[in-house]
Structure 1
Amino acid sequence: MANGQTVILNSDYRRMQAHRLVEQAPQGAVLNIQPAKRTTDQNSLMWALLSEISRAKPNGRTLTPDVWKALFLHALDHSQRFEQALDDKGMVPVGFRSSRLTKAQFSDLIEFIYSWAAENGIPLSDEIEPSRSQAA
């Protein structure tokens, strides 16, 4: 059996493959089953939306897409903690990262961004091309 094998349970065949791996696993092996993480398209869409909001400067706020991301994550209770910067000039977010979100949580984040933008009069493009947006 190969070490650290990952099987995505997206078909009956893959489920059988996973079952075989469990049967072949040595005593004391560890099994970790977790929901799928966000997709690349979801991540690309998020950055495209955050960039549009950043360019719109709602309420005169000139924030980077990274700062907007932290604000939206915080609004959905995916809080980060903050530490004093090394030069004592401000605070630095540490801890929670959007890459840890499941697909469903990431969908909730994107829906919240759309909703917030609509409530704040920020028109978002109907045809955002996720593959051309900023990477995480």
Structure 2
Amino acid sequence: MKPRAFTIPGDRMRAAHVIRAMSEFVIAMTQAGHSLVATFSEESKTREQEAKYHSMIGDIAEQAEHLGSKWTAEDWKRLLLDKFARETGRTGGKIIPNLDSNGVVEVGILSRKFGKREASEFIEFLMSWGAENGCYFTEKVTDPETGEIFTVTWQMAKQREEVAA
């Protein structure tokens, strides 16, 4: 039997339609003598989300410094994921001794495990962090009428803190 995936939308009416289709499938398969395993998980992040946050991290790596030094995009990804995890109450990265006890290894949050919602939150976090740290971001945009591709550079406005009088 070939695996079958059902995506249940967040809209209640459309979800009911998909659930009915799932029910019909389950009934048909069990009547035919098949045992089934059902697994439910949050919708996976999209390739577009992944490309966007990797592009944003690359922009940050080109512009920002940490401890007075420039770092690679992969280094910045680890730093930003750790900060994102701590600020959002997720289990963050940990530093533990390596197996030879002569160094350390970072373990913890991985972007490849992000669901769609988590990837969106990480992109919003990067926008905010970039604004607070003066970073500009670049994006490729296609003109829908001409098909021409443009590179757009943008920066989020830094949030102003309200000062009580």
TM-score normalised to structure 2 length:
0.62
Q: Which moved more, 1:60-69 or 1:37-46?
A: 60-69
**Contact 1:74 / 1:80 at 8 angstroms: preserved in 2?**
yes
Find the counterpart in structure 1 of residue 21 from structure 2.
17
CA distance in 1, matches of 2:103, 2:129: 27
Q: Deviations over 1:21-51 (max 9, x none)?
A: 2323548633111110111000001110000
Which structure has greater strand proportion? 2
Q: Number of paired residues? A: 127
> Secondary structure of the equivalent of 2:137?
coil
CA distance in 2, matches of 1:83, 1:114: 30
Alpha-carbon distance, 1:5 to partner: 2.2
**Farther off after superposition, 99-108 or 47-56:** 99-108
Work out the CA distance in 1 between the residues paired with 2:108 and 2:35: 31
Q: How does 1:101-120 map to 2 (within 5 A)?
A: 101-120=114-133
Structure 1, gaps ≥5 residues long: 130-136
- More moved, 44-53 vs 21-30: 21-30
Structure 2 residue runs without a partner (length 5+)? 142-165
Alpha-carbon shift at residue 118 of structure 1 (Å): 0.6
Identity of counterpart residues, as a percentage? Answer: 24
Are residues 1:93 and 2:130 paired?
Answer: no
**Contact kept in structure 2, 1:83 and 1:92, CA below 8 Å:** yes
Q: 1:61 to 1:107 in 2, by over 3 A?
A: farther
TM-score norm. by structure 1 comes to 0.73
Deviations 1:85-105 (A, max 9, x none): 567665333343212111111
**Mapping for residues 121-132 of structure 1, pairs under 5 Å:** 121-125=134-138, 127-128=139-140
Q: Kindly indicate whether the alpha-carbon contact (under 8 Å) linking 1:72 and 1:109 is maintained by their aligned counterparts in 2.
A: no
Q: How does 1:1-136 map to 2 (within 5 A)?
A: 2-10=1-9, 14-26=18-30, 29-59=36-66, 60-77=68-85, 78=90, 79-85=92-98, 90-125=103-138, 127-128=139-140
Instruction: State the structure with more CA Rg.
Output: 2
- Alignment partners' CA distance in 1, 2:106 and 2:21: 41
Q: Which amino acid aligns with 1:24?
A: A
Helix, strand or coil for the counterpart of 1:72? Answer: helix
Which one has the bigger helix percentage? 1
